[in-house]
Amino acid sequence: MSSTGGVWVLVEHRDDKLEDGSLELVGHGREVAGKTGQELAAVIFGEIPEELVTQLARYGASRVLCIKHPAAPERSVEIDTQLLSAAIEQHSPDMVLSLESITGADIARRLAARLGTGLVTACDRLDVGEDNLLAAVKPIYGSKASATIICPTSRPQMATVNPDAIDLKTPDDTASAEVVVLPVDIDLEDPGTKAVDLLRGDPRLVALVEAEIVVAGGIGLGSRENWKLVEELADAIGGSVAATRRAVDDEWITSDRQVGLTGKTVRPKLYIACGISGAIQHTMGMKDAKAIIAINTDREAPIFKMADVGVIGDVLKVLPVLTAKLREALKDKPEPGADAVFEALSNP
C-alpha cells in the first residue's frame, strides 16, 4: 500500500471494547474504500488488544494505525486532534471518517478546522459519486429532508456518521490486519482548556429528554404502592422514570416526569410502557422512541400498535420478575451506564 491515499476510520476503544458503532463504520467505510479502489485503515490512539485488531480486520480494516507520541501525553480531544492532524499531514489519506459520538464529533470538527478542509457531519450514509468523490448523505431541516454533500478540492475528505445509522456487515473471518505504529513527534500546543471533574448523572433523575432508557408507568399500576415496581425496573436497567397524565394526577409521581401532549416529548433508545393503554395524548410524546416495549393486560390496547414487543400480561406480575432477572444478569457486569464512563474517560 502506498504511503498516501486510503480511507482512515478513527476508532475509539476502552477496556478491551470498541465504541458502539465502530465495526459498523469500518464495514461501511470498507465499501467506500472498495468503490474508490483504496484500502481502509483503522486509526487508534495508543495501543490496542489483539482481539480488537482481529475484529477490525474482519470488518474490513487492512491496517490498524496506532498513533503514538514519545511523551505519551494525557489524552484530550484537543491533544488527539493535534496528533491526528500531524499524522494526516504526514500520510495524506484521501478520506477520514469518524463516528458522530461525543468524542468523535468533537475531534472531527477540530480536525477539519485545523486542516482547513471540509467536513460533512452526522451522516446517515456514505456514497461514492463522480470522480471517486465521497458523497455524504445527511439529514437536514429537522431530519425532514436529506442532503448529499461533497468536498471537491480540499483534502482529506471528511465525514462523521451517526452511530446507529448503519448496519453491521458480514464479517470475513479469514481477514487479518497489519498493525503499524505511526510515531508522531510534534511539539504539543496548550489547548487552553482542561477537564477537571466528571459529574455522573443519576439515570433515574436525568432530565427525561436526555434519558436513553425510559420506564413509564400508567394507570394500570393501580396504586401508589405498586408504582415502586416502575421505579425498581428503572433502577435495574439504568433508566429514567416517566408517567402518563393519569399517574401524575393520582400523585404517584411529580409532573416533571409526565410524557405526552401536556408533558414532555422523549426519543429514548428504549421506552418501556407499563400499564399504559396508549391514549394519543400520551403516545404523541413517545412515538419516536427507537424501541418500544408495552406491557398491558388488554390485548386490544392501542399501545400495542406501536410496540416493537408487546407483552400481554399483568404488569404487577411481569415487572418484579423482569427486574429480578435484570439484576441477576447485570450482576458483576458493568453497569448499564458504563458507556457514558467510556465516553467521558476517553474525552478528559
Partner 1 sequence: MNIVVCVKQVPDIEGRVVVEKGVISVQAMVSSDVMNPQDLLAIEEAIRIKEESGNGKVTVISLGSSETEETLRKCLALGADDAVLLDDSAFVDGDSYATACTLARAISPIPHDIILCGQRADDSQSGQVSAYLARILGVSLVRSVVKVDIGPDSGSLVLQRKLSKGDREVVECSLPTVLAVETGLNTPRNATIKGVLKARNRQIPRQNCGDLGLSREETGVTGSRTRTMRISPPKPKMKGLFVPDSKLSSADKLRAIMGGGIVQKKSDYLEGDPDDIAGQLLRFFREQKIIQK
Binding segment for partner 1 (CB under 8 A), chosen from 2-10, 41-49, 275-283, 311-319, is: 311-319
CB of 290 to partner 1, least distance (A): 8
**Residue 71 interacting with partner 1 (CB under 8 A):** no
**Residue 51 interacting with partner 1 (CB under 8 A):** no
Residue whose CB is less far from partner 1, 186 or 326: 326
Give the cell for residue 105: 464529533
Write out the binding residues for partner 1, residues 20-39 only, by CB under 8 A: 20
Tally Cβ neighbours within 10 Å of residue 343.
17
Q: Is there a contact between 73 and 82 (Cβ–Cβ < 8 Å)? A: no
Q: What are the residues whose beta carbons fall under 8 Å from the beta carbon of 159, sequence distance 6 or more?
A: 95, 97, 119, 120, 121, 123, 126, 134, 136
Question: How far apart are the C-alpha atoms of 142 and 228, rounded to whole Å?
Answer: 37
Name the DSSP letter for residue 245. Answer: H
CB of 301 to partner 1, least distance (A): 12
State in Å, rounded, how far the first CA of the chain is from the last one. 34
**Residue 338 interacting with partner 1 (CB under 8 A):** yes
Write out the binding residues for partner 1, residues 118-137 only, by CB under 8 A: 118-122, 124, 129, 135
112: buried, middle or exposed (CB in 10 Å: 19+, 13-18, 0-12)?
Answer: buried
**Residue 96 interacting with partner 1 (CB under 8 A):** no
**Residue 280 interacting with partner 1 (CB under 8 A):** no
The CA-atom distances, in angstroms, between 124 and each of 58, 100, 108, 266, 275 are: 22, 10, 16, 21, 35
Binding-site string for partner 1 from residue 219 to residue 258, where x marks contact by CB under 8 A and - marks none: ------------------xx--------------------
Q: What are the residues whose beta carbons fall under 8 Å from the beta carbon of 74, sequence distance 6 or more?
A: 348
50, 197, 225, 300: residue in contact with partner 1 (rule CB under 8 A): 197
Binding segment for partner 1 (CB under 8 A), chosen from 38-46, 193-201, 222-230, 248-256, is: 193-201
**Residue 304 interacting with partner 1 (CB under 8 A):** yes
Residues binding partner 1: what is the number (CB under 8 A)? 100
